Amino acid sequence: QSTTPTILATLVLRKKPAQVAHVTAHALHREYRVLQQLAVHNRSTAVHRRVPVPRVYAYCRDMSVIGAEFYVMEYVRGRIFVDPAMPQLSPTDRWRAYQDMIRVLVALH
């Protein structure tokens, strides 16, 4: 028996790609700070005004670590939709997804 608690966590390492389309694209430090500030906002905001964001844990700009700038964040289950029409969803699920998008946009403003 171990007296040390063990925690299993799934994390995401987001790193800057080797090639970027524009110098301001993939500003990872900016992304990291925005996610941090949205989390701060969520802690002091009513539930219906919160913005769903992953928890961010660390940012590293030291290229000697993995060869690229990166940050580590919590893994959040979900789906990524490439086509905004979301043809793979049923009409009911598509409506719910659009309603969720509107709710988040309102919370951001």
For CATH 3.30.200.20, the residue range(s) in the chain are 1-78
Using alpha carbons, select from 12, 3, 1 the residue that is nearest to residue 74. 12
Fold of 1-78: Phosphorylase Kinase; domain 1 (3.30.200)
pLDDT, average across residues 28-57: 91
On the question of pLDDT at 98 being above 90, the answer is: yes
Give the per-residue pLDDT at 1: 60
* pTM of model > 0.75: yes
pLDDT in tens, 44-88: 888 878 889 999 999 999 999 999 999 999 999 988 899 999 999
Long-range Cβ contact pairs of 63-69 (< 8 A, separation 24 or more): 66/13, 66/15, 68/15, 68/16, 68/17, 68/18, 69/15, 69/16, 69/28, 69/29
